[in-house]
């Protein structure tokens, strides 16, 4: 287990091979025998020595040269990482990092709507515009105008529905907020305000089709987590907190107590990285996948783990269809299912089998390949239309 969680930190071997002496102290042999016995019962046991921000793990090994030799391999890892990842692996849970804007939502203020309308009007005035593009732009103009009008009416009226939400801000403080909000169920959209008393902070928020199905897959009705969810965004803090409250009002994906650790804010002039995402909530990057509409905003080391969603643009394509009549999030849910199955199929099969065959005298080069969720993300020109590879929502495997 410790190799899968932190494979790059093999420090040294402890026993006759590396030290030239056998560990003949009774306690060493007793502990070694106990660990080997636990391994035969498929119970992973390591001795842990804490050393500040690092912890050392001693793994009992069997020697092919000296029968009964008390010998160990040693790994070091950041404190707490092993325990956190072990819980996830035992629960068959991986990590999913979500972007917000144009990935799972599409949000506009009245000012943003007006800017879009001005741009469309400028395009419609092009004398060389063909009839097909003119029709498409006219439809986009009408949708934009109608949504803007709904938001303007919402901002100006005093008749609205209030929703009370409790947020744990990154400072750790609890704050009760009552804000005007209207949910347009037939549109899968929400009218809300970031600052409840300030109409200028009103937003028209489109939630991407298929979001409820994705939520249902990530965290089942029984409460079982297939993926531990994180959010990494370049949006403003108050905006992101409100958007996530709209997406996960029940706190099923991220509990109230964990919101400050799992909602990560990145400055627009910086790169997103899994190292930053998991800074306060431990997980190894190899156990994570990212859903974002852009790969270029991610650190080079993490790009292979990013599945690029086609940007969500409901003003152009309200139904957001990409393949076989399915929505983009439906297809992306299938990708997450496929990646999870592939990861644990290798982990439960080849990896554990090969690790159990290793002996104390083996070298680092003898270690089997360590699985990475990025291995199971299929990139074909970022075209999700080619990825209808798993069952429909509601029939996903365990």
324 and 180 housed in the same domain: yes
Give me the helix-helix angle, 131-156 and 110-124, nearest 10°: 160
Residue 69 contacts residue 22 (beta carbons within 8 Å): yes
Give the separation between CA 204 and CA 149, rounded to whole angstroms: 10
62 and 178 housed in the same domain: no
60 and 101 housed in the same domain: no
Residue 174, burial from CB neighbour count under 10 angstroms (0-12, 13-18, 19+): exposed
State residue 346's pLDDT score: 82
What is the domain count for the chain?
Answer: 2
Residue 28 lies in a domain: yes
**DSSP result, 330-377:** HHHHHHHHHHHHHHHHHIIIIIHHHHHT--TT--GGGSPPPP-GGGG-
Could you tell me the residue range of the domain that residue 324 belongs to? 94-110+160-346+371-386
Give the separation between CA 351 and CA 272, rounded to whole angstroms: 30
164 and 28 housed in the same domain: no
164 and 298 housed in the same domain: yes
Residue 255 lies in a domain: yes
State residue 176's pLDDT score: 64
Residue 143 lies in a domain: no
Residue 273 lies in a domain: yes
CA 234 to chain centre: 15
99 and 46 housed in the same domain: no
What 3-state DSSP class applies to 77? strand
72 and 208 housed in the same domain: no
Residue 73 lies in a domain: yes
Please report which residue ranges of 96-130 form alpha helices under DSSP H: 110-124
Claim: this prediction has a pTM higher than 0.95: no
Residue entry with tokens 């970022």: 382
Residue 170 lies in a domain: yes
State residue 22's pLDDT score: 45
Residue 24 lies in a domain: yes
b/e 217-247 (16+ beta carbons within 10 angstroms → b): bbbeeeeebbbbbbbbbbbeeebbbbbbbbb
42 and 165 housed in the same domain: no
57 and 102 housed in the same domain: no
Q: At 375, phi and psi to the nearest 5?
A: -65, -25
Q: What is the CATH number of the domain that holds 98?
A: 3.40.50.1000
106 and 247 housed in the same domain: yes
Residue 304 lies in a domain: yes
Give the separation between CA 2 and CA 45, rounded to whole angstroms: 10
197 and 307 housed in the same domain: yes
227 and 168 housed in the same domain: yes
In the sheet that 227-233 helps form, which strands lie side by side, from edge to edge?
263-265, 227-233, 94-98, 288-292, 306-308
Per-residue confidence of the chain (398 residues) as pLDDT tens digits?
555 555 554 544 555 444 434 444 556 666 676 676 666 555 556 677 777 788 888 777 777 777 777 777 777 788 888 888 889 988 999 999 999 999 999 999 999 999 999 999 999 988 788 888 899 999 999 999 999 999 999 988 744 455 555 445 555 555 666 778 899 988 899 999 998 888 889 999 999 999 999 999 998 777 789 999 999 999 999 999 999 999 999 999 999 889 989 999 999 999 999 999 998 778 999 999 999 999 999 999 999 999 999 999 999 999 898 767 788 899 889 989 999 999 998 888 777 676 667 777 777 767 767 789 998 885 443 444 343 333 333 444 56
Taking residue 185's Cβ as centre, other Cβ atoms within 10 Å add up to 7
Give the separation between CA 363 and CA 371, rounded to whole angstroms: 19
For 22, the token pair is 């056998």
């Amino acid at each position: 287990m410790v190799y899968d969680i932190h494979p790059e930190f093999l420090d040294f071997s402890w026993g006759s091979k590396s030290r030239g002496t056998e560990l003949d102290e009774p306690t060493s042999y007793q502990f070694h025998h106990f660990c080997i016995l636990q391994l035969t019962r498929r119970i992973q046991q390591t001795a842990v020595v804490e050393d500040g921000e690092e912890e050392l793990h001693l793994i009992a090994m069997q020697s092919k040269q000296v029968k009964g030799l008390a010998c160990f391999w040693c790994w070091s890892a950041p404190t707490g990482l092993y325990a956190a990842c072990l819980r996830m692996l035992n629960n068959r849970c991986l990590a999913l990092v979500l972007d917000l804007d144009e990935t799972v939502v599409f949000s506009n203020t009245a000012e943003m709507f007006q800017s879009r309308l001005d741009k469309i009007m400028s395009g419609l005035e092009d004398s060389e515009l063909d009839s097909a593009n003119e029709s498409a732009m006219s439809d986009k103009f009408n949708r934009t105008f109608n949504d803007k009008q709904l938001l303007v009416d919402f901002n100006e009226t005093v008749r609205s529905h209030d929703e009370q939400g409790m947020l744990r801000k990154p400072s750790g403080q609890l704050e009760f907020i009552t804000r005007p909000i209207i949910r347009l169920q037939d549109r899968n959209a929400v009218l809300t305000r970031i600052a409840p008393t300030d109409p200028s902070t009103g937003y028209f928020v489109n939630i991407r089709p298929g979001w409820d199905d994705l939520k249902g897959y990530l965290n089942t009705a029984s409460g079982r987590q297939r993926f531990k969810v994180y959010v990494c965004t370049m949006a403003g803090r108050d905006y992101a907190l409100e958007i996530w409250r709209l997406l996960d009002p029940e706190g099923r994906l991220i509990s109230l107590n964990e919101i400050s650790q799992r909602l990560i804010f990145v400055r627009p002039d910086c790169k997103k990285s899994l190292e930053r995402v998991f800074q306060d909530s431990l997980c190894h990057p190899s156990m994570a996948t990212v859903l974002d509409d852009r790969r270029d905003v991610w650190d080079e080391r993490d790009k292979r783990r990013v599945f690029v969603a086609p940007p969500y643009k409901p003003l152009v394509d309200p139904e957001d269809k990409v393949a076989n009549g399915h929505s983009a999030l439906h297809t992306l849910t299938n990708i997450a299912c496929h990646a999870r199955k592939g990861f644990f199929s290798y982990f439960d099969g080849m990896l554990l089998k090969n690790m159990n065959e290793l002996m104390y005298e083996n070298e680092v080069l003898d270690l089997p390949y360590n699985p990475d969720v990025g291995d199971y993300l299929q990139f074909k020109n970022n075209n999700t239309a080619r990825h209808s590879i798993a069952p429909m929502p509601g029939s996903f495997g365990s």
